[in-house]
Amino acid sequence: MPDIRPMAGKVVLVTGGTGGIGKATAIGLAALGARVGITGRDLARTAQVAAEIRAASGNPAIDGFAADMSSQAEVRRLAAAVLDAYPRLDVLVNNVGGFWAHRHPTADGLEHTFALNHLASFLLTNLLLDRLKSSAPARVVNVSSHVQAEGRIDFDDLQGARAYSGQTAYSQSKLATVMFTNELARRLEGTRVTANSLHPGVVRTNFGAEDQAWLFTVVSQVVLPFLKTPARGAETSIYLASSPETDGVTGQFFANKKVKAANKVANDLEMTARLWKASADLVGMRAIS
């Protein structure tokens, strides 16, 4: 069975599609013929990158959506714009995310890493879920990281208010991504909408550039030549978004296009349900919890 298939007639949204792994994912899915929407913070930059993706893929059907997804109001505005633009949505790639060495509060007063890497994708997915269901078979693809393995969800201090470390906040957020994916997959049973998460590899992008730890800066200069290109880093996202091999596959964590064991907490039903409830409360979506 070929591991990719054409995506003509399919509609895909890639968050954080203006750079790095997300842009490469958008190019790959556009080259397969999908209509692709990308999101980024800045309207002009998003439009410019959409034009670059059209040129790189030869596919004119690329749309740019601008929203600062660290803000819940902006995520809600983004979801409304997407629902308005796309009568169907076949694949949602929740790729947006990053690393911040220091604690930054968002417009909602939440810690930035948790808000952007987890809550933004949680909220956006829930707001787009009916559209995904009515387009089924459909897929949700969530970009996590191998650091999910060392993550720990601190329910007493989800916002890192007592103690903040960039690495701890990042690995917590990436474990939250896998837990959210698995709980979503369970909630979507019988809908023909699947949800899987992935580690893209260690990839040469702008990752962490906004607020880098000094050690990270030094190490990244040394390892730079050995990192994956964004195109290689996008391979597992593209595979999960398009491959016939993953038809019906759900609730799994992937790396290098293969199922990998995730942190055991991600398969603890009590913990994933608890995180879902806490996340729903934080985004004001009690009704769906």
Ligand X SMILES: NC(=O)c1ccc[n+]([C@@H]2O[C@H](COP(=O)([O-])OP(=O)(O)OC[C@H]3O[C@@H](n4cnc5c(N)ncnc54)[C@H](OP(=O)(O)O)[C@@H]3O)[C@@H](O)[C@H]2O)c1
Residues labelled catalytic: 170
Question: Would you count residue 171 as binding ligand X (CB under 6 A)?
Answer: no
Helices (H), the chain: 20-31, 43-57, 72-85, 112-114, 120-134, 166-187, 214-223, 230-233, 235-242, 269-282
Among 5, 41, 76, 103, binds ligand X (CB under 6 A): 41
Instruction: Spell out the residues 6+ positions from residue 229 whose beta carbon is closer than 8 angstroms to its own.
Output: 24, 203, 204
Within 10 A of 264 (CB to CB), how many other CB atoms are there? 9
Which residues, 204 to 243, sit near ligand X by CB under 6 A? 205-207
What one-letter code names the amino acid at 184? L
- Minimum separation from the CB atom of position 88 to ligand X (A): 23
Decide: is 196 part of the binding site for ligand X (CB under 6 A): no
Cβ-based nearer residue to ligand X, 72 or 135: 72
Residue nearest to ligand X (CB): 20
Q: Measured on CA atoms in the order 39, 127, 89, 238, is the torsion positive or negative?
A: positive
Q: Which of 57, 59, 72, 95 binds ligand X (CB under 6 A)?
A: 95
Distance of CA 284 to the CA centre of its chain: 20
> Which listed residue (7, 11, 13, 21) binds ligand X by CB under 6 A?
21
**Residue 46 to residue 133: CA distance in whole angstroms:** 27
Q: Are 62 and 36 in contact (CB under 8 A)?
A: yes
Q: Which of 7, 10, 16, 266 binds ligand X (CB under 6 A)?
A: 16
Please report whether residue 70 would count as binding ligand X according to CB under 6 A. Answer: yes
Q: Is residue 180 close enough to count as binding ligand X by CB under 6 A?
A: no
Q: Which of 19, 85, 154, 273 binds ligand X (CB under 6 A)?
A: 19
Q: Distance of CA 148 to CAs 84, 132, 152, 224, Å?
A: 34, 26, 8, 22
CB of 211 to ligand X, least distance (A): 11
Does position 28 bind ligand X by CB under 6 A?
no
d(CA 174, CA 146): 8
Residue count, binding to ligand X (CB under 6 A): 28
Contact window for ligand X (CB under 6 A) among 36-44, 218-226, 239-247, 280-288: 36-44
Look at strands 258-260 and 253-255 and give their pairing.
antiparallel
Rounded distance between C-alpha atoms, residue 98 and residue 15, angstroms: 12
Rank residues 19 and 136 by Cβ distance to ligand X and give the closer one: 19
Q: Which of 113, 145, 171, 272 binds ligand X (CB under 6 A)?
A: 145
Where along the sequence are the contacts to ligand X (CB under 6 A)?
16-22, 40-42, 45, 68-70, 95-98, 116, 143, 145, 199-200, 202-203, 205-207
